[in-house]
Amino acid sequence: MKKISIFLMLLIVSCNKNDCTTNEKIRKIETDKIIETFLEDKYFKNNKDAYAVCISFKKLKINTESLYAEPTKKAQIIKLPPRLPKILENTKVYIEMLTNANLKGKKIFKPKDSINFIEQNNCFFKYTLPKNIAGRIKTISASEIENATDYVIFSIPIFSEDNKKAYLEMDCYSKELPYGQSVYLEKKDNIWKVIDTKTIWVKCQG
């Protein structure tokens, strides 16, 4: 009986791991398609030489501590480590931002997607632009961005359970007006389309 229980536990762990791996492969393919969508956008076509796209994407971390609740841990004064390149800094996104996101009064994501969002914290840690896409645009590596300007960093998309909707962030570090946007996408007839965007930060000069 004990051997059977151990076998079942290993089987469950193995299945979960495979689900993550399989989904990760699918989502990397879908990320390629999403970037193709951006390249076809009029704005990117007109500015493909003005902005370099970072070949490495940043990882978004789902924060499940309520946006409206007081932090459970008291703030502490600590010595900060050396600042990492922006691309290596995980960005937190509150789960409420995703579950409450709506378009014309209709929720973008389904309630069941919320569990899947959290699971993605432990999957799909790294994405690099494939050569067939990178060769068509101006690019910049993560090691070059620390003192650079006029470049764009995308985040690895967060997908719905059925991989037909996605959320990502686009940070544009321009000389004139750096800003960040949240981007919501939907896949219809095997084509990704941007359905909504919101400005999430702007760095004013002075």
Nearest to 173 by CA among 56, 42, 51: 51
Chain centroid to CA 132? 21
Q: What is the DSSP string of 116-146?
A: HHHHGGGS----B--HHHHTTS-EE-GGG-T
pLDDT per residue over 87-107, tens digit each?
A: 556 688 999 999 999 999 999
- Quote the pLDDT of residue 185: 97
Of the candidate ranges 13-27, 28-42, 50-64, 78-92, the one whose mean pLDDT is the lowest: 78-92
**pTM of the predicted model as reported, rounded to 2 decimal places:** 0.80
- Quote the pLDDT of residue 39: 86
Residue carrying the six token digits 């495979």? 18
DSSP 8-state assignment for residue 114: H
- Quote the pLDDT of residue 23: 87
Give the highest mean pLDDT range of 32-41, 88-97, 160-169. 160-169
